[in-house]
Amino acid sequence: MLQHYANNKKFIGKYHLYGHYKAGQDKLKIPISIEILKDKFLTYTKNIIKYKEHETLGLSDTDPQCFFN
């Protein structure tokens, strides 16, 4: 979905993602800061290489906030 958003920033619709969790969701504080969003949701490590999805897609600091709001 984020890749679709990055390629179509003028997309007017909204994305919906649902999840059901047994526990732990209360740890997430809303609203999410851009630093937490980039560090916890858009950054991952695979085979010892750290990937930053927001940088790979060429998103600015305001783009992920617009996507998640």
Reported as a single tens digit per residue, the pLDDT across 14-51 is 777 778 888 887 887 777 788 888 888 889 999 999 99
63 lies in some domain: yes
Number of domains in the chain: 1
SS (H, E, C) the chain: CHHHHHHCCCCCCCCCCCCCCCCCHHHCCCCCCHHHHHHHHCEEEECCEEEEHHHHCCCCCHHHHHHHC
Tell me what pLDDT residue 43 has. Answer: 92
Residue predicted with more confidence, 56 or 63: 56
9 lies in some domain: no
> Above 80 in pLDDT, residue 69?
no
Assessment of whether the complete model's pTM goes beyond 0.75: no
Pairing outcome for strands 43-46 and 49-52: antiparallel
33 lies in some domain: yes
Domain of 65, in residue numbers: 27-69
Say which range, 2-11, 37-46, 60-69, has the weakest mean pLDDT: 60-69
14 lies in some domain: no
